Amino acid sequence: MARADGQLATEACTGDAAAFASLAERHRPRVERLSRQLLPHGDAAQDCVQLTLVRAWERIGQLQDPARFGGWLMSICRSVAANLREAEGTRRAREQEASRGPRPVPELDRIITRLWVRQAVDKLPELYRRPVHQHYFDGLSHADIARRLHVPVTTVKKRLHDARGRLKEALGEMAEAKKLAGLSWQQRWISHLGCIKGCLEHLGIDMSWGWLYGGSGHAFLLSIHKELCPSGPTMWDWGRLWALAKNLGVEVDGPCISRHCEAAAFPKTQEQAWGMVRAAIDEGRPCFGWELALPEFYTIHGYDEVGYYFSGPGAEPEGGPKPWREAGASEIGLLALLTVRPGRPAPPEQIVGEALRFAVEFAGQETPEPDAVEHRAGLAGYEAWAEALESGVAGRFGLGLNAACWAECRREAVNFLREAKTALLGRAAGPLEEAMLHYSVVHSRLEAVSDLYPFQPPSAEQQPPVEDAQAAVLVREAAAAEEQALHAVRGVLEAL
């Protein structure tokens, strides 16, 4: 027989997380309905549900009448919804400001055009190539060219006229890029998952963000540099994500072409990548890779004679063409290109079980990968984060980026566990609800850090490092909630 709200709420008031998880499971449908009524647009309703349950757990000791838990919870939901509506205007203004990064200068288009012309000119017969070079690139007059070639001026003019006709035809062919219609990057702080989601949508595979983040294990990651440099969100073993993604029916392969630009074989790697991407696009397979503009991942939706067409962070809606010889040739200097194709999804028990086992394993690691000695993983990463804030060495750019990335991951951890609860048909429902509650707390604390230090694009002016004890407290509270969440995750694994 189900226990009454009053009894469960009384136990929850003493700090019993399992009792509160039972209340949350019972009242979640009402909270969801009210949230959708108050916030009908976008993901705000789902955020409202999470925040409502977190606020209720944090304030359960203030509940004066345990028997009236349901009404008390609904009042919290209305308050949270009002705050979210108010914050939405501020958030949109901030995002618009943050998006005003450096824009490509108009000269870029002219440079690309000149590159196309030079390639076309180099393919002309010698009879036309020499006068074109001399007239258009060297600036010589018709008379000067005639003297150098020992021909009449009329012959020079005729050859230039004929060359222009050939170039017009050749440039028309070069301008015809091969593209995959409808393929584009989906905006997310974790750019490689934004790429994969875009590829899945192009392939007609319907998968929620929560299922993608959670099933691939990324919802449970945390990688932090000791000084909060922006490398944390991408400094870990990517192969683990691709392996877990197979459970979701997502085959990420290529194989992965990855090499640092200082390696002697880098030009050969660029050439192999160029061939791989063109073959994949010709076959209708979407691609993505690092790094085509900023140090991030980008979907590759086409190519032409010059290079790649892509979309992603900081790129124009029609990014490219990126000359293929420039891909990866940057300060970071890493080239990694992959393709995505559909596979066979594993049963939900395998998807959930392997993802949660990864979550527990990764949380106990000291570093996200063996070579990342300046980074800390999992629970150790939270401590490194807090220490950087307390000691005043936290980089401002990296702080904003890490807070946004890891808050996003923990939000999707909650969404994944919610879907898992449905997919598992009631198995491990109690510990799943408890894990959702604690990950919601983690998300709220990291979101608070992100609100304190919203992402700001890097600028030429060096920003001083951050020292903030208040933010450090929030990070440590997130770490404590993460430990409780992992305890509940172990309970899920035992039940499975």
Are residue 160 and residue 186 in the same domain, yes or no? no
Q: Are residues 464 and 481 in the same domain?
A: yes
**What is the number of structural domains in the chain?**
4
Pair 311, 422 in one domain: no
- Cα separations (Å) of 347 from 129, 247, 351, 354? 63, 8, 6, 11
Query: Are residue 39 and residue 147 in the same domain, yes or no?
Result: no
In a domain, 244, yes or no: no
Of 15-24, 105-114, 131-140, 428-437, the range with the highest mean pLDDT is 428-437
Contacts of 478 (CB under 8 A, 6+ apart): 382, 410, 441, 442, 445, 446, 449
The answer to whether residue 212 is domain-embedded is no
Beta pairing partners, 308 = 303, 322
Tell me the pLDDT tens digit for each residue of 345-390: 999 999 999 999 999 999 999 988 888 889 999 999 999 999 999 9
Q: In a 10 Å sphere around its CB, with 0-12 CB exposed, 13-18 middle and 19+ buried, how is residue 38 labelled?
A: middle
Task: Tell me: do 453 and 365 sit in the same domain.
Answer: yes
Residues 186 and 324 in one domain: yes
| Beta carbons of 277 and 336 less than 8 angstroms apart | no
**Residues 133-153: what's their mean pLDDT?**
83
- 436 and 489 within one domain: yes
Q: Is residue 228 part of a domain?
A: no
Task: Specify whether 338 is located in the same domain as 405.
Answer: no
On whether residue 200 sits in a domain, the answer given is yes
Angle at 259 between CA 253 and CA 262, to 5 degrees: 170
Full domain range(s) for residue 286: 180-204+252-342
pLDDT of residue 107: 42
Q: What is the pLDDT of residue 93?
A: 61
166 and 134 fall within a common domain: yes
User: Over 90: is that where the pLDDT of 319 sits?
Assistant: no
Give CA–CA dist 442/481, Å, rounded.
6
Give how far Cα 163 sits from Cα of 116, 120, 142, 306, 314, Å: 15, 10, 14, 21, 38
- The verdict on residue 246 lying in a domain is no
Cα dist. 422→3, 231, 248, 495 in Å?
A: 22, 35, 16, 15
Among the listed residues 313, 292, 291, the one whose alpha carbon sits nearest the alpha carbon of residue 405: 313
* For range 18-42, the mean pLDDT: 87
Domain termination site, one of 318, 342, 366: 342
Tell me what the mean pLDDT of segment 34-52 comes to.
85
Please tell me whether residues 375 and 425 are part of one structural domain. Answer: yes
Res 460 pLDDT > 70: no
Q: Are 489 and 420 part of one and the same domain?
A: yes
**CA distance linking residue 496 with residue 493, whole number of Å:** 5
CATH code: domain of residue 316: 3.90.70
Closest Cα to residue 381, out of 355, 354, 395, 402?
Answer: 402
| Domain boundary, last residue among 94, 119, 138 | 94
Helix ranges (DSSP H) in 283-364? 348-363
Dist CA 270 CA 264 (whole Å)? 12
pTM of the model: 0.76
Where is pLDDT greater, at 150 or 96? 150
Residues 274 and 375 grouped into a single domain: no
SS3 321: strand
